[in-house]
Amino acid sequence: MVHRFWNFLLRDIYLKILALAIAILIYINAVLERTHSMSLKIPITFTNLAEGQVISEKSVDKAILLIEGKGKDFIGLYPKRLAFKINLEKTKLGNQKIKLFPEELGLPSTVSLKTIDPEYVELTIDRLSKKSVEVSIPLKGKLEKGYTLVNIVPKTNVYLTGPRSDLNFISVVNTESLDIEEIMESKDIKLKVILPEGDNFSLESDSIEVSIRVEKESARIFLAVPLQIVGIKSRTVTVEPREAQIAVAGAESKLETMKPESIIARINITDLLAGTHQVRAEITLPPGISLVKCEPAFFRVKIQ
């Protein structure tokens, strides 16, 4: 059975190959003569923009063309080599609406254009400007117990370049996150600066050096901190005791120069009715200083 199959297959093999080749050529010819439609995404590029100007907004960066022609008409057509090139040499500042001309693409004359979307591209051209911006440094992790972060200070200014109208709304840029978990001493470190969203911004340098100041944590107790009474509203109020003992923690250098008057201790009775109450004090401390304990924890407040 197998022997008969191979005899049949190999009999007149050259004639069979010739017949197959002719069939393929007929199919290819039919495809080349048949009318086809093709959708092309054509990039839109801009040239000769005046020095000191920038495109701050554009409606699209590609146009979709639907073309039609015979298969043979598409031979030699390389879509990746096609692009709309818009000359901005004589374009003024502000909003612009520019028509796209498909004939400038150099498509074969035998190919017909059915649709182009969009027919126009809308631009906003602005002046290029530069300004100094503040730097925000996101932190992750925690310092080892017994250490405190005094401050993080950028050692240089950051200058952002971009469209003037956009720069008016930007005052701060972020850096990459700084992991402080393993920092146990003061040091300088470089961080990458993150550009604002958009393609029109640039920096003089993509990184910035910051100075990190770390100190051992210490504690200090402030005696006889006077209480402030909030929300009296013409009522007779007595508070016992009238002073608090407050323990705080922070960097040694900050605690050494910290003064008692920088601590604000308040008893807020705004929502309290007449009678006797046990109230916690609200403690406000300078930045970088944390509350350890307030004695007493509750104050006796009598309202008449």
Place of tokens 């979709």: 64
Write down the pLDDT at residue 298: 95
Q: Mind listing the pLDDT tens digit for each residue in 264-281?
A: 999 999 888 889 999 999
Q: Which residues of the chain have pLDDT under 70?
A: 1-36, 71-78
One-letter amino acid for residue 58 of the chain: K
Could you please report the per-residue DSSP string of 210-250?
EEEEEEEEEEEEEEEEEEEEE--TT--EEEESSEEEEEEEE
Give me the helices (H) in the chain, please.
Answer: 2-10, 13-33, 164-167, 252-257
Instruction: Count Cα neighbours of 151 within 13 Å in the Cβ-side half-sphere.
Output: 7
State the Cα torsion 279-280-282-288 to the nearest 10°. 180
For residue range 215-228, list pLDDT tens digits in order: 888 899 999 999 99
Handedness of CA 180, 183, 185, 188 (dihedral sign): negative
Q: Specify the pTM.
A: 0.62
Task: Give residue 226's pLDDT.
Answer: 95
Report residue 245 as tokens: 């003992």
Of 196, 121, 191, 124, the closest CA to residue 162 belongs to 196
Return the residue matching tokens 């009474």. 229
Set out the domains of the chain in order of their start, with CATH numbers: 35-126 (2.170.120.30), 128-216 (2.170.120.40), 218-303 (2.170.120.30)
Query: Any residues with CB less than 8 A from the CB of 78 and at least 6 apart, and which?
Result: none
Tell me the pLDDT tens digit for each residue of 143-175: 888 888 888 899 989 999 999 988 989 999 999
